[in-house]
Chains A and B, each alone.
Chain A
Amino acid sequence: MKRRQFLKTSVAAGSGIYFGFLPGCQGNEQTKTRKLKELSRRLVEARSEAIRDKKGKLIGDEVGKLLSRAMENFFGESGAQKCWRQLFTPEDVVGIKINCLAGRGMSTHRELVDAIVEGVKSAGVPEKNIIIWDRANRDLKKAGYRIQTNRNKLKIYGTDQVGYSRRLYEYGEAGSFLSNILVEQCTAIVNVPILKDHGIVGLTNALKNFFGAIHNPNKYHDFSGDPYIADVNMFSEIRQKTRLTVTDALTAQFEGGPPFMPQWAWNFNGILLGMDRVALDAFAWKLIDEKRKTSGLPTLKEAGREPTYIRTAADESHRLGMDDLSKIELIQV
């Protein structure tokens, strides 16, 4: 760990915020709750120059090491396997929700996804019970993923392979069918968004990534996605199954998103990891704004696309997490 920045520790504890659960955590209910509260106010930013070779290409092993380091720091354990075991049991079917809309240049990197697959496997989840997924096979292919549907192997496919729920999920202003991968197939989700600017809603990261799990995201970009993005994240299947978010910020984009615009892409060479999607988004906002400022661009607010949905996600009627970074324990490694 390079620096441990413990900003303030009171927090979300006792506020009724729902953060998921730790099925593999040892101890009684009290211990588990304490552990959850501790984790829910923690966020890891892990970066390393070593993840690229001289030509700038990602090195899979190094990305794996970076992820392990992030996990160990997040859980306060040594040995990544112990951490993964707290999140998943061998009975789980784990969906890794990636983001492929922008094609090869700006989609969740395969190197990171492979490292997550290894981590989930280390918790005893058989490979055939892991599904890498996004909205459509077409998007996955564009991002370089090969569709795999063999029942005895790791699976990679889009919602168009299996369709959407028959039930309409509703909360606040949002009403959507959800991907059957999420509803019918998975018991747990690892959310793996991209750190990216978004031309309408400001930025896309942990919360917005679940627009790729609903059938009608086109309806929910008005008013910078506020309150729709927060409302979608309130759907029970999303709230209860999402156990971890790992933001792919190996290459990030600070302007011109969501499509890939190489002129505004930057090698952040890092990942963000946590259980609180609101905190992750609030931190992502800070990072994007800092980068925009140093690049001579207006902040997201000045550009007229402040991601206010992040605040809404933290408000009394949502309580999806903590948007006040001063109350988040940020661990930078």
Chain B
Amino acid sequence: MRNIISRREFLRASAGFSGACLGSSLIFSGELAFAGTKKDDIFRREARYYEKLPNRRIKCKLCPRECVIDDQETGYCGARENHDGKYYTLVYGRAVSANVDPIEKKPLFHFLPGTTAFSIATAGCNVLCKFCQNWEISQARPDQIRSYKLFPKDVARYAKNAGTESIAYTYNEPVIFTEYVEDCAEAGHEQGVRSVMITNGYIQAEPMRDLCRVLDAVKIDLKAFTEDFYRKIVAGKLKPVLDTLTLLKSENEWTEIVYLVIPTLNDQAADLKKMCHWIYNELGPDVPLHFSRFYPIYRLKNLPPTPLATLEKARNIALDAGLHYAYIGNVPGNEGENTYCPNCKKIIIRRIGYQILENNLDSKGRCKFCKTSIPGVWH
């Protein structure tokens, strides 16, 4: 990973923002600071999915929360605000992070392996995961974080100049900046750069369908397979996420799923079995499923990291359920990082961490050894 905006470009891009700085970390702006609130208006665009109600109230129709918002108030995500009965996104072109990452980091294992993605984020999120890795940006509001002025055409240009194959909307929840995603993806396509969305899938059907028109792949964080976990740990609901997964299937959108295995909270074998069978039955055996290791953070500092044995057990449950591509994440060097041919069982892509050590796909995306077609986006 490297930060791709040069210091001079950054200073130009962020002109007008007090306290902006260039760092080398993943989220170099992940501390609360104030970024020239007088300039807030340039990031304001009328929202695309909402309904007007009496008394200058509005109802947001972007995610399943359907926040009803009074005049001058923001929605749950903090990234949308009611002004005089009109609803606005506050984060259009307001990036708080921009990096070049390996696509494997997202993780997307069946999407242009070995390429990089120009990765951007804004502030805000429509859920409140107690284990959020990026909580300093996801749980803050736009005016509390240092920002880049990075409008869609700039994003596409940076992505192209950095030699990336795709733009990734990631780190915080892209659902809440959907207008920005749609326009960046279109601008990217004009430059020959694709777009991938790293999301919790907590979105209504209409905006998700609109996004499918411009996205090339989606990674869904399926955080558990019980409503109880979603209610207590995520402040959301499971059902809408499952609806999004089936919608993505019906739209033929390339989709991978990540499941962060948290000790004692969502690691019960029975729930994992139920989930794997649901995926097999509703989405088919070819959806890659990544079991990712949890590290204590944010509000769940009291729990230990996921034991390797738990991750291996989860992967075996998925394979036993008939899923062809079950992975283990956040454990570099584990055999569960490799892609195996479901037919001849040989390693097709060998990985360590985000690195590809061996790629045995032929030019048609088939196993070099037995010619079995491997699902994914390979070119």
Measured CB to CB, the residues of A under 8 A from B are 101-103, 136-138, 160, 163-164, 166, 170, 175, 177, 199-200, 215-216, 218-219, 221-222, 256-259, 261
What count of chain B residues pass the 8 Å CB interface test?
Answer: 27
Residues 51 to 101 of chain B near chain A (Cβ within 8 Å): 55-57, 68, 70-78
Specify which chain B residues have a CB less than 8 angstroms from the CB of A219 in the assembled complex: 76, 78, 128, 139, 235
- The complex places the Cα of A164 from the Cα of B56 at a distance, in Å, of 31
Specify which chain A residues have a CB less than 8 angstroms from the CB of B128 in the assembled complex: 219
Shortest C-beta distance, A209 to chain B (Å), equals 15
Known pairs A199-B70, A259-B70; A215 contacts B32 (CB<8 A): yes
Q: Does B140 contact A (CB under 8 A)?
A: yes
Question: Is B32 a contact of A216 with CB atoms below 8 Å?
Answer: no
Question: Is A218 a contact of B140 with CB atoms below 8 Å?
Answer: no
Specify which chain B residues have a CB less than 8 angstroms from the CB of A257 in the assembled complex: 70
Q: List 15 A-B contacts (CB under 8 A).
A: A102-B72, A164-B144, A170-B299, A199-B68, A215-B32, A215-B144, A216-B140, A218-B75, A218-B76, A218-B141, A219-B78, A219-B128, A256-B55, A259-B56, A259-B70
Shortest C-beta distance, A22 to chain B (Å), equals 34
Output the residue of B139, B141, B235, B299 with the most chain A CB within 10 A: B139
Further contacts, 6 of them, CB under 8 A, given A136-B37, A166-B32: A175-B298, A199-B70, A219-B78, A219-B235, A256-B55, A258-B70
Shortest C-beta distance, B269 to chain A (Å), equals 29
Question: Is A259 a contact of B72 with CB atoms below 8 Å?
Answer: yes
- Per-position binary interface string of chain B over residues 18-43, scored 1 when its CB falls under 8 Å from any chain A CB and 0 otherwise: 00000000000001111001000000
- The complex places the Cα of A200 from the Cα of B75 at a distance, in Å, of 12
Question: Is B75 a contact of A160 with CB atoms below 8 Å?
Answer: no
* Contact partner, A163, options B32, B71, B235, B298, Cβ 8 Å: B32
Specify which chain B residues have a CB less than 8 angstroms from the CB of A218 in the assembled complex: 74-78, 141
Measured CB to CB, the residues of B under 8 A from A are 31-34, 37, 55-57, 68, 70-78, 128, 139-141, 143-144, 235, 298-299
- The complex places the Cα of A199 from the Cα of B55 at a distance, in Å, of 12
Specify which chain A residues have a CB less than 8 angstroms from the CB of B31 in the assembled complex: 166
- The complex places the Cα of A199 from the Cα of B34 at a distance, in Å, of 30
* Majority-rule SS of A interface residues: loop
Question: Is A177 a contact of B68 with CB atoms below 8 Å?
Answer: no
Specify which chain A residues have a CB less than 8 angstroms from the CB of B76 in the assembled complex: 218-219, 221-222
Q: Which 7 A-B pairs have the closest CB atoms?
A: A218-B78, A259-B71, A164-B32, A259-B70, A218-B74, A160-B34, A219-B128
Question: Is B143 a contact of A160 with CB atoms below 8 Å?
Answer: yes
- The complex places the Cα of A215 from the Cα of B71 at a distance, in Å, of 19
A222 to chain B: closest residue by CB: B235
Specify which chain A residues have a CB less than 8 angstroms from the CB of B144 in the assembled complex: 164, 215
Known pairs A170-B299, A218-B77; A163 contacts B72 (CB<8 A): no
Question: Is A163 a contact of B34 with CB atoms below 8 Å?
Answer: yes
B33 to chain A: closest residue by CB: A163
B31 to chain A: closest residue by CB: A166
Question: Is A258 a contact of B73 with CB atoms below 8 Å?
Answer: yes
Specify which chain A residues have a CB less than 8 angstroms from the CB of B235 in the assembled complex: 219, 222
- The complex places the Cα of A256 from the Cα of B128 at a distance, in Å, of 28
